[in-house]
């Protein structure tokens, strides 16, 4: 697969955003974490800004065996889905005015518990995939949902809007670090990080400065 032999750009994207500007679109960003290893636990955080009301994928981690190995998907306003190993749980969130929305999704294999935070606040935890192990050889894509390894996109599940502050850790973050991620404070070293991101843009995505500072309340 060409996705496994990327020559990605490596940049510090502090105060930058990816703008997914075409709707609908097959545009996406391929990102590569280091090091790659099977996961018994993980945390993914990102910040997005959109006025979409249709379904869209934000973070898609697919393997040859499972196209929804890890997926953060928003099927409609007020609802997020976290997939692990093709199974998912739903987290319901209050809808607010259109603004940046920061999310963190965390999962632990030992107890099979999924955790979801929105704008620095936790939602009720849900049970998901106890004892499962997330495969290492993966393609990670921002802005789409993979229906096959590295592709198979449904254009009407594409993300249109802006995305920033994408991070992934191979363990569950503490409550304090979840809040720190929302507040853009110092974070522990990550397998995938916005300030040292290996990425390759595919299609109609631009790297632009933030239009404003994030309002943290």
d(CA 210, CA 217): 18
Beta strands in the chain (DSSP E): 9-11, 16-20, 28-31, 41-49, 56-62, 70-76, 79-84, 87-92, 101-108, 113-118, 121-122, 126-127, 139-142, 161-169, 197-202, 205-209
Domains of the chain: 2-209 (2.60.120.200)
d(CA 125, CA 141): 25
Residue 7 has a pLDDT of 58
d(CA 115, CA 95): 19
- Residue 24: cis peptide before it, omega within 30 degrees of 0: yes
Token reading at 100: 């940046």
**Is the model's pLDDT at 211 over the cut of 80?**
yes
Residue 183 has a pLDDT of 95
pLDDT top residue among 142 and 33: 142
Token reading at 53: 């009301």
Residue 141 has a pLDDT of 97
Query: How does DSSP classify residue 153?
Result: -
CB atoms within 10 A of CB 209: 8
pLDDT tens-digit map of 1-59: 444 445 567 888 999 999 999 999 999 999 998 767 889 999 999 999 999 999 999 99
**Which residue carries 């379904």 as its tokens?**
55
**With a threshold of 0.75, does the pTM exceed it?**
yes
d(CA 6, CA 31): 9
């Amino acid at each position: 697969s060409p996705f496994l032999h990327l020559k990605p750009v490596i940049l510090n994207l502090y105060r930058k955003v990816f703008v997914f500007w075409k709707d609908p679109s097959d545009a996406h960003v391929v990102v590569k974490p280091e090091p790659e290893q099977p996961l018994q636990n993980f945390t993914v955080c990102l910040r997005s800004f959109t006025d979409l009301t249709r379904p869209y994928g934000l973070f898609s981690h697919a393997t040859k065996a499972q196209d929804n190995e890890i997926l953060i998907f928003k099927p409609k306003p007020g609802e997020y889905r976290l997939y692990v190993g093709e199974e998912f749980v739903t987290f319901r969130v209050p809808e607010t005015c259109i603004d940046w929305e920061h999310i963190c999704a965390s999962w632990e294999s030992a107890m099979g518990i999924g955790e979801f935070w929105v704008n620095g606040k936790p939602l009720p935890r849900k049970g998901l995939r106890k004892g499962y192990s997330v495969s290492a050889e993966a393609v990670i894509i921002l802005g789409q949902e993979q229906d096959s390894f590295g592709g198979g996109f449904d254009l009407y599940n594409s993300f249109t809007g802006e995305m920033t502050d994408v991070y992934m850790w191979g363990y569950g973050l503490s409550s304090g670090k979840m809040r720190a991620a929302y507040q853009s404070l110092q974070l522990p070293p990550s397998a995938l990080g916005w300030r040292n991101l290996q990425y390759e843009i595919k299609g109609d995505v631009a790297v632009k400065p933030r239009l404003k500072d994030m309002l943290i309340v």
